[in-house]
Amino acid sequence: MAQVVEKLQPWLAAIERRPHGGPRWLQDLRDRGAARFAALGFPTVRDEEWRFTNISPIANAEFVPATEAAPVTSHSLRGVAYSDVPNRIVVLNGRFASQLSRVNGLANGVRVGSLAAAVTEHADVVPRYLGQLADFGTKAFTALNTALSVDGLYVHIADGVVLDEPLHLLFVTTSADLPQPIMSNVRTLVVVGDRCQVRIVESYVGPDGGAYFTNAVTEIFAGDGAVVDHYKVQQESLDAFHVASMHVHAARNANVSSHSFSLGGKIARNDVGALLDGEGAECTLNGLYLADGDRLVDNHTTIDHAKAHCPSHEIYKGILGGKARAVFNGKIVVRQDAQKTDAKQTNRALLLSDHASINTKPQLEIFADDVKCTHGAAIGQLDEDAIFYLRARGLTYFEARDMMIHAFAGEILDRVKVEPLRVALEGELYAQLAKDLAEIDAA
Amino acid sequence: MLDIKNLQVTVEGKQILKGIDLHVNAGEVHAIMGPNGSGKSTLARALAGHPQYEVSAGEATFDGKDLLDLDPDERAREGVFMAFQYPVEIAGVNNAYFLKAAVNAKRKHQGLPELDAMEFMQLIKEKSKLLDIDQSMLSRAVNEGFSGGEKKRNEIFQMALLEPRLAILDETDSGLDIDALKLVAAGVNAMRHPDRAIIVVTHYQRLLDYIVPDYVHVLTGGRIVKSGGKELALELEKKGYGWIESGAQPVGA
């Protein structure tokens, strides 16, 4: 036990040096986050929520909060997928970077930029939302983020605004030249008014070989009848750690879809929680993840049907090579009042190697009686019969296999409604796959 | 064109074919008939190179090449085509995309330029009429959600696109109603050509009313026990397989 406390010591020291200043409510929020983290400590594999994901490589590393952003020119953003877009809002090592950001012709009623600035400039809005969904009472990483976050992004869209161009929220870490590995506790708050329509892309990137830690918390509030189309692209360095939670609140008749693409990270953990809190709210959570080597990717999703007549759709797919491990936990809660719920969950994983593995668990908690809930999971290797069929038509084994794998991933990629993003993701994903498959073929 | 000698095939440790001899010349249509479990489909799949069908003895040459030495995709590119008894559904792979890849794999092998999207659509248009292939079958995933008849038509459509030297139809008639059967048969008949051989594997005589074979072979117990002309099929239809299986001469013969 003493050992555990000792490992926590540098973290507690960081907590002690947490940011100060700003309005009273914010300081109070940080203090409460700090107290909770100190009380909770890091989760271990004895915690049900972390049973298959051992985060001791994060806990044991001495990450320091990024104090100053290392310089990144927009030139070095050039290799970043989907970065050359009209609306690009950049956070660099945990802080809003205005010199890298640009927005073009945003409609009236749209505010996009630094969260720290919004705390004072949108003082009537931010406190009503920030920290309202992200539970730091029981979640250590959320508590850590709540205590240590200095900045992040804020998106506010007034009632009735329809945004044509997507907003690309880009979180960049540049740890390469720094003496100690850094952590970024980034925070995103998205408040979408009634009857709005918006597409938001959240990307997380870092330099190759960077062993940094991103601890991200995103809260999205979708007003009555709002349509929010959200994409998260996790493309951290393969040596980085990425722990993120996203929390969605969907009001009456809101339609929120979120697509998660998890391509990087040594350990990547994504928690997505959606609360369908008004009648007729609809939610789609899809995900595609790719891991190789000894990497681990863990997706935990929760769709909470609190009100009646809410459909939800969920498809998560993974492709695993090498000794990669994955975890999928899909929880669907249907509360007593949520009659006529229609929830569908599918989870599929493709194992390209005998040493790759996945732990998958659907978790249905249903307290209403007039509901439709289906779930299915399929884990396996490529279908040999299908491979033979394609070969019998003249395609080589490799062509047949690639066609099958692309088809597997395509089911999720094809749902990306932002065309240039889809093209960029396909390029990134297929390049990574080609590398993995070349390694398998060489072995 | 195809020369099979003493072909013996084992599936999951069990010997199914116990020595098949068959000689097929270009321009000929051969029917292989036999009761369920006789090894008809095993012969078809072994010739196509299915990995679960292990050749334990014998040989098969195709245009002088050792067929058994070739991978399934090499056989296909060399011009061997098997219409599957149970066409496989492949989720996520668009049918037109797959067909184009197949056509171009073969063209590349033949040293021909690959077809671009326009040229391919032209080819599709030309070949689809005969088999009543509509646009929706091309835009869906390969065989996914296809009816039994659509799957079989899609197989013969592929044959029309790939123009094989040797086509092996594995129970292409099973599960088809008479209209679908006629459509499929018309598609096959349109492919009859002095340079092409066709092997029709079937349990029933019915298909052979529409695709009239030059030769009929009866396969039972893993061996070809009787060969003859098209009249043999009619005889089988009348008397069943029993008289051949028991080795007895047909009554009244």
A68: contact with B, CB 8 A cutoff = no
Q: Of A132, A138, A200, A211, give the one whose Cα is nearest residue A176.
A: A211
pLDDT of residue B85: 94
* ipTM, interface predicted TM-score of the complex: 0.94
Cβ atoms of A145 and A244 closer than 8 Å = no
What is the share, in percent, of chain A residues with pLDDT greater than 70?
A: 96
B50: contact with A, CB 8 A cutoff = yes
| A24 pLDDT more than 50 | yes
For chain B, the average pLDDT equals 91
What tens digit of pLDDT does each residue of A382-435 get? Answer: 999 999 999 999 999 999 999 999 999 999 999 999 999 999 999 999 999 998
What tens digit of pLDDT does each residue of A292-301 get? Answer: 999 999 999 9
CA–CA gap between residue A305 and residue A287 (Å, rounded) = 20
Contacts of B92 in chain A (CB under 8 A): 404, 406-408, 410-411
Residue A355 contacts by C-beta under 8 Å, 6 or more apart in sequence?
A: A322, A323
CA–CA gap between residue A263 and residue A318 (Å, rounded) = 10
Q: Of A235, A293, A241, A281, give the one whose Cα is nearest residue A260.
A: A235
Chain B, 181-220: which have a CB under 8 Å from a chain A CB? Answer: none
A393: contact with B, CB 8 A cutoff = yes
Q: Testing the interface with A: which of B52, B81, B90 to mutate, by most A Cβ within 10 A?
A: B90
Expressed in angstroms, the distance from the first to the final Cα of chain B is 34
φ/ψ of A435, rounded to 5, equals -65, -45
Q: Which residue has the higher pLDDT, B104 or B137?
A: B104
Q: Do B76 and A393 touch (CB under 8 A)?
A: yes
What tens digit of pLDDT does each residue of B55-74 get? Answer: 999 999 999 999 999 999 99
What is the number of CB-based contacts under 8 A between chain A and chain B? 77
Contacts of B93 in chain A (CB under 8 A): 390, 403-404, 407
Radius of gyration of chain B (CA): 18
Task: Copy the structure tokens of residue A147.
Answer: 């205590």
pLDDT of residue A175: 65
| B49 pLDDT more than 90 | yes
pLDDT of residue B135: 84
B48: contact with A, CB 8 A cutoff = yes
Q: Kind of pairing, strands A227-235 and A255-262? A: parallel
| A6 pLDDT more than 80 | no
What tens digit of pLDDT does each residue of A175-200 get? Answer: 656 678 889 999 999 999 999 999 99
pLDDT of residue B235: 85
> For chain B, what percentages of helix, strand and coil (3-state, to nearest 5) are there?
40, 30, 35
pLDDT band of residue B252 (cuts 50, 70, 90) is very low
pLDDT band of residue A3 (cuts 50, 70, 90) is very low
Highest mean pLDDT among A12-26, A70-84, A237-251: A237-251
Q: Do B76 and A385 touch (CB under 8 A)?
A: no
Q: Testing the interface with A: which of B11, B70, B73 to mutate, by most A Cβ within 10 A?
A: B73
pLDDT band of residue A302 (cuts 50, 70, 90) is very high
What tens digit of pLDDT does each residue of B221-245 get? Answer: 999 999 999 888 888 888 888 777 6
B251: contact with A, CB 8 A cutoff = no
Cβ atoms of A280 and A252 closer than 8 Å = yes
pLDDT of residue A177: 62
| B248 pLDDT more than 60 | no
Task: Copy the structure tokens of residue A440.
Answer: 């398998």
Rounded average pLDDT over B13-42:
94
pLDDT of residue A441: 82
A134: contact with B, CB 8 A cutoff = no
In chain B, how many H helices and how many E strands?
10, 12
CA–CA gap between residue A1 and residue B145 (Å, rounded) = 58
Cβ atoms of A153 and A112 closer than 8 Å = yes
DSSP per position, B13-64:
TEEEEEEEEEEE-TT-EEEEE--TTSSHHHHHHHHHT-TTEEEEEEEEEETT
Q: Coil, strand, or helix at residue A356?
A: coil
Q: Of B52, B43, B36, B21, give the one whose Cα is nearest residue B203.
A: B36
CA–CA gap between residue B237 and residue B233 (Å, rounded) = 6
Residue A215, burial from CB neighbour count under 10 angstroms (0-12, 13-18, 19+): buried
| A77 pLDDT more than 90 | no
Task: Copy the structure tokens of residue A403.
Answer: 């066609």
Q: Which helix (H) or strand (E) holds A85?
A: none
Cβ atoms of A258 and A285 closer than 8 Å = yes
pLDDT of residue A68: 61
pLDDT of residue B251: 42
Distance from CA of A288 to the nearest CA of B (A): 15
Q: Do A397 and B71 touch (CB under 8 A)?
A: yes
Q: Do B84 and A389 touch (CB under 8 A)?
A: yes
Among chain B residues, CA nearest to A414 = B92
CA–CA gap between residue B245 and residue B161 (Å, rounded) = 39
DSSP per position, B62-131:
ETTEEGGGS-HHHHHHHTEEEE-SSPPPEEEEEHHHHHHHHHHHHHHHTTPPPP-HHHHHHHHHHHHTTT
pLDDT band of residue A228 (cuts 50, 70, 90) is very high
What tens digit of pLDDT does each residue of A256-280 get? Answer: 999 999 999 999 999 999 999 999 9
pLDDT of residue A436: 86
Contacts of B91 in chain A (CB under 8 A): 407, 411
Q: Do A411 and B82 touch (CB under 8 A)?
A: no
pLDDT of residue A2: 39
Long-range contacts: B223-227, Cβ < 8 Å, 24+? B223/B17, B223/B18, B223/B19, B223/B20, B224/B20, B224/B21, B224/B22, B224/B32
Highest mean pLDDT among A55-64, A137-146, B197-206: A137-146
pLDDT of residue B133: 85
Distance from CA of A433 to the nearest CA of B (A): 17
pLDDT of residue B246: 61
Q: Of A46, A225, A32, give the one whose Cα is nearest residue A142.
A: A32
| B54 pLDDT more than 70 | yes
Contacts of A386 in chain B (CB under 8 A): 88-90
